[in-house]
Amino acid sequence: MATRSKSSQRWLQEHFSDPYVKKAQAQGLRSRAAFKLEELVERDRLLKPGMVVVDLGAAPGGWSQWVRQSMGDSGRVIALDILDMPSLAGVEFLHGDFREDEVLSQLESTLDGKSVDLVLSDMAPNMSGVDAVDLPRAMHLAELAMDFGDRHLRVGGTFLIKLFQGVGFDDYVRELRRRYSKVVIRKPAASRKRSPEVYALAQGKLAQMK
């Protein structure tokens, strides 16, 4: 059996000593990522009963689970991921690659012409550790998510997306500012400090781009 690399051992040690991992386990949540969303959503009171919420890059389901619990039985939660995700009561799951037109069409069919109130995107590519490869892949997913918001978010709706700081980041945020009345960059407490991830929160989708 191959020995684990030092970086792998460090990640495991960090993961199992992480207070958010322990808290998620204690509360029966699928992922520590739920606490990132909780902080981001509750600070601005983004979630209201009856909303239609789309969760892109949903597996293992931490965000969808938290949204469904928070909204009770009202509204719709539609989750999509390239990875399979065990079912969650009250969450509609689509298994597929968001980059493929067929999968996007399936998501649009599921919406059945209804507009979306809140688009969440925690999507990230499989990271190689090489910024020159990883950042363009991550930015491509981010652009697809923004396009989805352009087409399906209602006027006044909200878009929350994970981004990685680096090439293309400033231009992407500039594009968000053309589309939404208020855009802020946040790093929730549950995000590991050494992670380059941040979250862009874009509120108040405009009827026309600036």
Which runs of consecutive H residues, i.e. helices, occur in 18-130?
Answer: 19-27, 33-44, 62-71, 101-111
Q: Binding site: which residues?
A: 61, 63, 81, 97, 122
Handedness of CA 114, 152, 185, 180 (dihedral sign): negative
Which runs of consecutive H residues, i.e. helices, occur in 97-196?
Answer: 101-111, 131-152, 169-179
Catalytic residue numbers?
Answer: 162
Distance of alpha carbon 48 from alpha carbon 40, whole angstroms:
14
Q: Does residue 62 contact residue 27 with C-beta atoms inside 8 Å?
A: no
Q: Binding site for S-adenosyl-L-methionine: which residues?
A: 61, 63, 81, 97, 122
